Copies of this chain bind each other. A is one copy, B any other.
Amino acid sequence: MTRRFSGMWPALVTPFGADGKPALDVVEKLVDLFAKQGLDGLYVTGSTGQWPLLTVEERQGIVERCVKASAGRIPIMAHIGAVATDDAVTLAKHAAKVGADAVSTVAPIYYPHSADVVFEHYRRIGAASELPLFVYHIELAQKLSVGAKEYTERILSLPNIAGMKITSGDLYLFGLIHSFAGDRLQLFSGADEVMCQAVLSGSIGAIGTFYNVFGPACRRAREAMVAGQVEKARTFMLAFQQVIAKVIASGSIWSFFRAAMRVKYSLDIGMPRAPLGTLDKPWDDAEIAKLIATVDEVL
């Protein structure tokens, strides 16, 4: 593997049009925005991108448009995880064909599986293309009932493995995986709320939902942390955590992102597919502006 992935990556929201279909023109504008902001990459059709509510064809359309809109300016990692292994394989091949830079997958969902079946699922996905593979981790080691070392070794044995997106606040496990894998795994923090803390456990970057709105500020904060400006990083994280907590406590998370993207970037990302956001209340523009300023003006 020669290509390196790192830095600040929004987990791209999937914008929807009035017709309930993915709004590919807005996808294009989002990619352009994040490329111009100098962010380090885009994570496409992940959980934030509502993959479980999209058809295989819709997902392919979005990835293709992202790659085209980027035109090499910002790397595209396509989340190609699916309930059925074959769908994930199809999506991985497509991502490679259209020029995505990497693929990523969640663990199989809904049914419980043994560790062996989970890794066989990953193996087939990794082998489906030559793109670097980033396995998504959500409290998986515990579910699998194996230790951090064995878990890391199994991850490392996957074809085309390049790294992980560790969506967990458990920075002890994060650090153990990093120590076992060293440079062989590029570890992204998927828990926005401890993004700077994860640097101390070996994270090379961060992938997350809130970077759609706060990408540049979070990028500066992460760089301050890496550069040793601990007091700056601390002040930022405390403010950032407060905003995350307010958004989550509101119960209107999806409408927050819609309002914030409109207020800050004049982009309409629409509302997600039901049941997501079904009962979300609208946000007040002034409150949105205040939350945005809270984060953007810390550093």
Contact = CB atoms under 8 A, between A and B. Distances in A.
B241 A121 contact: no
Contact of A279 (B114, B239, B251): B114
Given A110-B52, A193-B172, A199 B234 contact: yes
Interface in A109-158: 109-111, 113-114, 116-118, 120-121, 124, 145, 147-148
A45 to B, nearest CB: 14
B121 A238 contact: no
A157 to B, nearest CB: 16
Given A201-B237, A202-B234, A238-B201, A275 B176 contact: no
Contact of A228 (B85, B111, B229): B229
Contacts of A114: 251, 279
B169 A85 contact: no
Nearest to A197: B197
A278 B239 CA distance: 39
A183 B113 CA distance: 35
A86 interface: yes
Contact of A172 (B194, B200, B233): B194
Contact of A238 (B20, B170, B175, B225): B175
A273 B86 contact: yes
A238 B169 contact: no
A245 interface: yes
A178 B117 CA distance: 32
A275 B85 contact: yes
A170 B172 contact: no
Interface residues of A, number: 65
Given A148-B245, A228-B229, A245-B176, A234 B200 contact: yes
Interface string A215-227: 0000000000111
Interface string A163-200: 00000011110011011000000000001011011111
Contacts of A85: 273-275, 278
A172 B120 CA distance: 31
Contact of A179 (B52, B113, B242): B242
A91 to B, nearest CB: 14
Contacts of A244: 172
Contacts of A228: 228-231
Contact of A225 (B230, B241, B245): B230
Interface in A77-124: 83-86, 108-111, 113-114, 116-118, 120-121, 124
Nearest to A227: B230
Interface in A49-88: 52-53, 83-86
Given A111-B276, A114-B279, 4 more contacts: A117-B275, A176-B245, A194-B200, A197-B200
6 contacts: A52-B111, A85-B273, A176-B245, A194-B201, A202-B234, A225-B230
